[in-house]
Amino acid sequence: MGTIGWIIITLLVCVCGGALWGYLRLRRLSRQVGVFDCAWRAHSGPAVSRAGGGEHWAQGLAEYRTEELVWWRLYSLSLTPQERWSRQGFDITGRVPLDQADLPGLYLVQCRQGADSFELMMSAEAYHGLSSWTESGPPMTRGFVV
């Protein structure tokens, strides 16, 4: 086998390895408790985030944690979430049911974390969970859950 053959085999192994890694990552994330489907979009302007904000939607999974909400890009090889929003200072500024836009059962949720504003698109059930998460929280004493 020549050099070209080895290059092709190496590329195939890399592509298959990357696809397997992405599949296993997505499977691990989707099986965790507190994870829900959620699309994310940053508002245009000076506070556009590092995850590729602007006018397009990015598909992903959001995960409730004790003190933060994290958002993972759906198709990525990253081991870390692309967005993190602390529970403190996280506000839901509005919600729009998307029934009129032929997307029944989905909500467009406008959110703000400090000066950054962004939008999340999620199911009605996920919205109710998010609003409950923002309104409640464990009692805190100097950063420790009581």
Q: What is the pLDDT of residues 58-88, one digit of tens each?
A: 999 999 888 899 998 888 878 888 999 998 8
User: What gap in Å lies between CA 130 and CA 128, rounded to an integer?
Assistant: 5
Fold that domain 34-139 belongs to in CATH = PH-domain like (2.30.29)
What is the rounded average pLDDT of the residues 112-125? 91
- DSSP, collapsed to helix, strand or coil, labels residue 79 as coil
Q: What burial letters (b/e) apply to 59-93, b meaning 16+ CB within 10 Å?
A: ebbbbbeeebbbbbbbebeeeebbbebebeebebe
> In this predicted structure, what is the pLDDT of residue 28?
79
pTM score: 0.71
Domain locations along the chain: 1-31, 34-139
Q: Would you tell me how many other CB atoms lie within 10 Å of the CB of residue 95?
A: 17
Give the pLDDT band of residue 50 (cuts 50, 70, 90).
Answer: very low
